[in-house]
Amino acid sequence: MNPNWREQAACRTYPVDFMYPERGDTAGQDAAKALCTTCPVQYPCLVQAIKDGEQDGYFGGMSGRARRALKRSDYVTMRCAWPTCGKEFAQRHPQNVCCSEECKRKRRNQYRKLHSYKTYRETLTKS
């Protein structure tokens, strides 16, 4: 993870309060969450907030409560198995090896292609 990810934070030009909406301020909470979903560093931000045990505020698009729930669950960090993607992603249970449906599809197609080559196995045994 690039340690300078904070430089790309979508919230860096916003007042600090923006990410700390009051309890019951649903409009404020929605606005904070919406900002996070446009943020290019949402994932490292979420991981950092969980690591640091941040109790309050919206970080990585999640409230403190949602982050605590995520931490209690079987939260795992994976790297997308589609090599040209390789994006890090979080999930509760390690059931997906790809970060998205699109990567899953590309990976499946790639394997199909490989296995349709008659010579594929021969190539493998030769090398």
Binding residues vs ligand SF4 (CB under 6 A): 9-11, 19, 35-36, 39, 41-42, 45, 59-61
For ligand SF4, the closer CB: 42 or 99: 42
Tell whether residue 80 is a contact of Zn ion (CB under 5 A): yes
* Residue 36: count of CB within 10 angstroms of its CB: 21
Q: How far apart are the first and last CA of the chain?
A: 35
For ligand SF4, the closer CB: 50 or 103: 50
Q: Taking the complex as a whole, how short is the minimal distance between the CB of residue 42 and ligand SF4, in angstroms? A: 4
Which of 85, 91, 96, 106 binds Zn ion (CB under 5 A)? It is: 85
Alpha-carbon distance of 78 to 94, in angstroms, equals 8
The residues with which 91 forms a beta bridge, in sequence order, are 76
Q: Are 111 and 103 in contact (CB under 8 A)?
A: no
